[in-house]
Amino acid sequence: MQQELKTLLTKVQNPLTHKNIIEDGTLEAIQENDDQITLVLSTPDDRRLQLALDSQIRTALAGSPALSKVKVKFNVKAPEVPKSEPSAPPANSIPGVDKIILIGSGKGGVGKSTVTLNLGISLKNMGYKVGLLDADIYGPSLGKMLGLSGRQNIDVQNDTIIPLEAYGLKVMSFSFLLDDNQPVVWRGPMLGKALHQFLYDIEWGKLDFLLIDLPPGTGDAHLSLTQMVQNDAAVVVTTPQNVALLDAGRAIAMFEQVNVPIAGVIENMSEFLCPHCGKGSHIFSKGGGSRLAASTKSVLLGQIPLTSELMEASDEGKPLATRKKNSPSAQKVVDAYEHAAQNLLSILAE
């Protein structure tokens, strides 16, 4: 049993060392007590790393019924050089927010907001504290997708805005300040001031991730956000279509010019899954995300299929992962987002 277990665990890679957990010594011990097997892993005090390793272990052991109930225990290693005082956060960081991820596309209509929402839901379901900032000022839609359509009652305490909460996510959107059909007609300086307020005058609290849904294109909002706050990475969303790939490539080039690391590419609408038979059809061509990732030397984080259930979930304001999955195609979408989230965690842990 132990030999089979060790063989399977060689597939689990530590993102910090790029070696498997047996080779690099992360696996401290295998404890057996009656019918219960417990894996003891030695890691830094890093919850993201621990969750990423736990997820990899579950995947590696999933094919062995005898090992499916293995428990994982983490022993936290003390830092090699203790610090007498915590270092001060950078001047342009957001207090309490660990990672800020920009979600861009370069082109409208590729499902960037849908990807932002469902990626956030997947990270939340993995145990992370997640916030969503809808910075798509001219076409904010995250509120609608979370059942918070139109103008909302915003609570302000001590000159600080309290974000709304939905499905375990903290959310702020320009749509909360507008009636449904009210347009935003702002020049650059006013836009920058509003974005600054949404970043620094909101009580985000403790967050592992703040996902920022950018407007399409590469304009004022993008430059403002890259200059006024420390961004940890960018995710670029595209469809397989050549016309979408061109604009996504421009978005990647823009992020590189302003020194925002590219976490990877997500190919949305990779295929349409029939809700009845589950068969996939490549209605927007095939393999575009892979080609874009290869040509820009980035990583393909995931390929998300298109289903009627996903459209219905967005319109109803109930994220797909929170609803009962009535078809295999709906479950495939949820699984695809979980896979993309796991890949994102691995990239960020490097």
CA end-to-end span of the chain, whole Å? 32
Domain spanning 2-76: CATH superfamily: Fe-S cluster assembly (FSCA) (3.30.300.130)
pLDDT of residue 82: 46
pLDDT of residue 80: 52
Quick: pLDDT tens for 49-84: 888 888 888 888 887 877 778 889 999 876 554 444
Residue 140 pLDDT > 90: no
Domain borders along the chain are 2-76, 97-349
Quick: pLDDT tens for 200-246: 899 999 999 999 999 887 777 788 788 888 899 999 999 999 989 99
Q: Considering the chain, what is the average pLDDT of its residues?
A: 87
- CA separation for the pair 240, 232 (Å, rounded): 26
Mean pLDDT for the stretch of residues 243-255: 92
**Percent with pLDDT over 70 in the chain:** 93
Residue 17 pLDDT > 60: yes
Rounded (5°) CA angle 80-83-89 = 120
Q: Element (H or E) spanning 335, and its range?
A: helix 328-349
Tokens encoding 221: 């909002």
pLDDT of residue 84: 44
- Which of 325, 176, 348 lies closest to 262, judged by CA? 348
Q: Residue 262: exposed, middle, or buried by beta-carbon count in 10 A (0-12, 13-18, 19+)?
A: buried
Residue 4 pLDDT > 70: yes
Q: How would residue 185 be classed by pLDDT, with cut points 50, 70 and 90?
A: low
- CA separation for the pair 137, 140 (Å, rounded): 6
Mean pLDDT for the stretch of residues 115-132: 97
Quick: pLDDT tens for 302-349: 999 999 999 999 999 999 988 877 788 989 999 999 999 999 999 999
Q: How would residue 90 be classed by pLDDT, with cut points 50, 70 and 90?
A: very low
Lowest mean pLDDT among 26-30, 187-191, 264-268: 187-191
| Structural contact between residues 299 and 343, judged by C-beta atoms closer than 8 angstroms | yes
Mean pLDDT for the stretch of residues 246-262: 92
Rounded (5°) CA angle 37-43-47 = 95
pLDDT of residue 312: 92
* Number of neighbouring beta carbons within 10 Å of residue 114: 25
* Number of neighbouring beta carbons within 10 Å of residue 317: 15
Tokens encoding 36: 């219960």
Q: How would residue 294 be classed by pLDDT, with cut points 50, 70 and 90?
A: very high
| Structural contact between residues 21 and 12, judged by C-beta atoms closer than 8 angstroms | yes
Q: Tell me, what DSSP letter sits at residue 44?
A: -
- CA separation for the pair 222, 257 (Å, rounded): 12
Give phi and psi for 339, each to the nearest 5: -65, -45
Q: Tell me, what DSSP letter sits at residue 75?
A: E
3-state secondary structure of 21: coil
- CA separation for the pair 159, 137 (Å, rounded): 22
Q: How would residue 186 be classed by pLDDT, with cut points 50, 70 and 90?
A: low
Topology, domain 97-349: Rossmann fold (3.40.50)
Rg of the chain in Å (alpha carbons): 21
Helix residue ranges per DSSP H, 229-307: 242-257, 288-295
| Structural contact between residues 171 and 131, judged by C-beta atoms closer than 8 angstroms | yes
246 or 89, which is more confident?
246
Quick: pLDDT tens for 257-280: 889 999 999 999 999 998 888 889
* pTM beyond 0.85, yes or no: no
